Amino acid sequence: MPDEYYNSQILGIISIFDEEFGDIDWWPALPQEIMAGSVLTPQTKWQNVLKALNNLKSSGIYTFEDIAKAPDGTIQECIRCTGFYRMKTERLKAFAGFFCEKSSLPEYWEREDTEAIRRDLLSVKGVGKETADSILCYALARNSFVIDSYTEKICQCAGIPLKKDDLKEAVERVIPQDNSFYKKFHGWFVEYGKKYCNERKCENCAILNLKRQG
């Protein structure tokens, strides 16, 4: 299908989301907390991630420097609620080492090119594209749109069959190049998915009308 069709469908999604939710402040937190949460998120519910982050704080573990120094067993107990806690401890430790190494470089997080940081993030064990883009978008305020299961499912329902990097490119071609909109648009996808997809309320989903109209 031509790019013009995808552009039109994405603009239609934006209109529906804006009417449904308006302005939202999704995932307001400190950068290191967002990064740690992004590493813990796969294969668990968001409530479990929040619980794990609170457990870490209760144990006096606030930063990646703290995570790097903490015994594996302590980390495992704190994040047990997220599932796969041994594997995630290993990944959290790996990310902590990466973060501390890059933070030692002058202004790495502030001045390095977004694509270069993305490549560096993807080199860390356990960091996939969704995790890397979540860190870039929410923790570092970079224009890197997050493609997750909700994004793909909802776009599919709107008549956009693209996946992963192809969908990311199509979305980024249309939306305003402003990080606050990147955050809001992804947050809209999550909230819409929880409201309609999780509850299987397809009969009430306005997104399906976009596909019919297209």
Tens-place pLDDT, residues 159-180: 999 999 999 999 999 999 999 9
Which pLDDT does position 200 carry in this prediction? Answer: 79
Average pLDDT on 66-81 reads: 98
* 79 pLDDT higher than 60: yes
Say what angle helices 3-21 and 149-157 make with each other, to 10 degrees. Answer: 110
The fraction of the chain above a pLDDT of 70, given in percent, is: 98
pLDDT band at 25 (very low <50, low <70, confident <90, very high): confident
Domains of the chain, by residue range, sit at 3-26+145-213, 31-139
Q: What is residue 174's predicted lDDT score, i.e. its pLDDT? A: 97
Q: What is the pTM of this model?
A: 0.94
3: confidence class by pLDDT, cuts 50, 70, 90: confident
pLDDT tens for each residue of 107-142: 999 999 999 999 999 999 999 999 999 999 999 999
CATH homologous superfamily for the domain 31-139:
Hypothetical protein; domain 2 (1.10.340.30)
In this structure, the number of other CB atoms found within 10 A of the CB of residue 60 comes to 9
